[in-house]
Structure 1
Amino acid sequence: MSARPAARAALYLAGTGSALPGAPVDNARMAKAFGISEDWTDLFVGTRTRHFGWDLDSGEVLYGLADLCAEAAERALAAAGTDPGDLDFLVLATATPDTLLPTTANRVADLLGLDHLPTYQLQAGCSGAVQALDVGRALLAGGHRTGLVIGGDVTDRFLDARRGAVALPTQELINYVLFGDGAAAAVVSADPVGEAVAVRALLHRFTGLGRAAGQVVDWHGAAPPDPGRRMLFEDYKTIEAAVPAMAAEILWELLDTAGWTPADLDFLLPPQLSGRMTEQIVAGLGMPPGAREISCVRETGNTGNALPLLQLDRLMPGLEPGRRALSVTVESSKWIKAGLALEKVRPGEGQR
């Protein structure tokens, strides 16, 4: 009897790409625009720069979410060596679509010249990119061969350039220095092509039963706004208390599912709420000897759905065959655990 062949990964990342609008905006510029202390930002947030798709002086929108997502997608397709016409599906995750209808997913498909393929848009927070990869995995298992997964968010409807930020309560003020705009994308495949990074484990689980939301992102229609409703709210103290423990639980579950030990890890992609929070999480997890942290939030700000894919885009150049990485993501809006165990395939994997 011949030996049973090793199980193939159900999902491969063939290439990644990212897009950040305009020049980086540092804390000195934020202080000048909104009167927010540079020292306060450094101490409580720890983010040095972020990018905005809108003009800081006038509030004029210069880049929409669809623009950024299309740019990131084009770079991911180029990295994968994939022709847009070979895509079988598109999945986009965001908390801040340009419009409710048409969906931003369909606008991106139009910008990319795509037609006659299924498109999906997920309303999600920081775990959205992993959720979109999970949908992509299911679509590949159903017979599709190649797809495009995108995550992105923008802030133009939630941060008011004309508003005196210093008059805001801390739960709202922090959003002015916490968030930034951006998008990132990955070409996914049923076969180890392009960059050929195998997803050895994928975690996506809602764990918010009976728990208060840690973040609220509201949406106003034509009706007069209710002054009691907050457009963007962060319960930062609860998030700070809950996320490190959740991150550790995710890390150990991913290791167990993949059959790895901490010593097997070459890279760790920790949650990216803020620069300061990332420091706390990494310190609590304990970096395995020789493992390298892949973070971007200090330079990009919290870009929501883009962040896990932004980290992957930074990871790809240094991921050599056989090297392994864990991506850990926590969504605090209603508490979702998510993450990926990744391995760059060795030559010959998946060949028949």
Structure 2
Amino acid sequence: MLVLNREQDLRIAGLGTASPGPQIDNATLGRAMGLGPMWEQWAEAFVGTKYRHLAVDLETGEPRFSLADLGETAGRRALAAAGLEPSDVDVVVMGTAMPDMLMPTTVNVVADRLGIDQVPTYQLQSGCSGAVQALSVAAGLLLSGSHGTALVLGGDVSAKLVDPDMDAAELPPAQLVNLMLFGDGAGALVLTAEPSPGPALRAVFTKLVGLGREPGQTLDWYGASRRFDGPPVSEDYKAIEAAVPEMAAESAEGLLYGLDWKPDELAYILPPQLSGRMTAKIRERMGAPEAREVSCVEETGNNGNALVFFQLARLLPKLAAGDRALGVAIESSKWIKSGFALEATA
């Protein structure tokens, strides 16, 4: 765990998010997929997610937005919020599970569109912990003293996984649930070692804990050829439901211990965002009941590496001097714990 002391002052100077098009409710999604009238009731009862944004046209199956499109928008918004120009960025780090293509990497396409050049860029291939991994890498680079300001990006676009010819009504529940669970989006933040009124990053960590464990999620890369055996996305929901609340609680406890913070000193908690239903279970297990929950998955869907940024977009305007917040993200693909801590100062 990277714990920052008062002399290692890193600040979130600006933040931006981007969603592809309007919200799509369960009824609209069900009609587009040819599902019956019980779909909406089943979707909200089983998953608890009411809306999502999708980068694909539901009628034609054609992609409307790429991850680079959304990353560019989020990046511009983050830089504008920080009052910075692209030339002020010293390093760019991106986390994603679903890049637009293998090469060129999406982080470099986004950097090019933003006008960022002559700086190091990094793209991390990861699931829901990828945004925190990107934050961790950026923090380490800034603390090295070789860089002053980092643009941290995260997001996912699942358009390549949507088969417009599939018969959704014939899908088994394990595959059907993915239609309602996931959404698309991107986020960006400016992390800087320069003076800034934004909240201070106090700790960040990622830890692989999957030795000898079967993956809880798999995601196949198959590109335009669509050659694959089995579904492109699979979930072991029983394993996820059993493991994620416990891992989230352990992550929060580890952050508090490393910082020597007490649970009752927390103003906000940003729990892992798998679905609306799962978030309630996770939040209960994480403790610190006085801390206010910052969640968005019911409105955004599970948009993977964008979720942390959408949570932060809700958190930052609420922070008052002295407020402390913990964020946790758990990746079930090969079981990764991750988290971060923020503190608002005067």
Equivalence for 1:71: 73
Equivalence for 1:235: 236
> Residues 266 and 288 of structure 2 are in contact (CA less than 8 Å); yes or no, is this contact kept in structure 1?
no
User: Shift in Å at residue 169 of structure 1?
Assistant: 2.1
> Residues 325 and 341 of structure 2 are in contact (CA less than 8 Å); yes or no, is this contact kept in structure 1?
yes
User: Shift in Å at residue 222 of structure 1?
Assistant: 7.3
User: Shift in Å at residue 236 of structure 1?
Assistant: 1.2
Q: Does 1:131 align with 2:133?
A: yes
Equivalence for 2:322: 322
Equivalence for 1:349: none
Equivalence for 1:160: 163
Sort the Cα spacing of 1:8 and 1:61 in 2 relative to 1 into closer, same or farther, 3 A: same
* Letter paired with 1:53: A
Q: Distance in 1 between matches of 2:255 and 2:287?
A: 16
* Letter paired with 1:85: S
User: Shift in Å at residue 198 of structure 1?
Assistant: 1.1
User: Shift in Å at residue 280 of structure 1?
Assistant: 1.0
User: Shift in Å at residue 191 of structure 1?
Assistant: 3.1
- Residue 59 of structure 1 aligns to a residue whose secondary structure is coil
Sort the Cα spacing of 1:66 and 1:221 in 2 relative to 1 into closer, same or farther, 3 A: closer
Equivalence for 1:17: 16
* Letter paired with 2:18: A
Q: Distance in 1 between matches of 2:112 and 2:96?
A: 17
| Matched ranges for 1:10-89 at <5 A | 10-34=9-33, 35=35, 37-89=39-91
Equivalence for 1:177: 180
| Number of residue equivalences | 338
* Letter paired with 1:38: E
Equivalence for 1:118: 120
Q: Does 1:336 align with 2:339?
A: no
Sort the Cα spacing of 1:269 and 1:48 in 2 relative to 1 into closer, same or farther, 3 A: same
Unaligned runs of 5+ in 1: 1-5, 347-352
> Residues 27 and 49 of structure 1 are in contact (CA less than 8 Å); yes or no, is this contact kept in structure 2?
yes
Equivalence for 2:109: 107
User: Shift in Å at residue 223 of structure 1?
Assistant: 6.8
> Residues 192 and 345 of structure 1 are in contact (CA less than 8 Å); yes or no, is this contact kept in structure 2?
no
Sequence identity percentage: 52
Sort the Cα spacing of 1:221 and 1:50 in 2 relative to 1 into closer, same or farther, 3 A: closer
- Residue 327 of structure 2 aligns to a residue whose secondary structure is strand
TM-score by length of 1: 0.93
User: Shift in Å at residue 345 of structure 1?
Assistant: 2.1
> Residues 156 and 186 of structure 2 are in contact (CA less than 8 Å); yes or no, is this contact kept in structure 1?
yes
TM-score by length of 2: 0.94
User: Shift in Å at residue 118 of structure 1?
Assistant: 1.0
> Residues 272 and 307 of structure 1 are in contact (CA less than 8 Å); yes or no, is this contact kept in structure 2?
yes
Q: Distance in 2 between matches of 1:282 and 1:226?
A: 36
Equivalence for 2:302: 302
> Residues 160 and 223 of structure 2 are in contact (CA less than 8 Å); yes or no, is this contact kept in structure 1?
no
- Residue 219 of structure 1 aligns to a residue whose secondary structure is coil
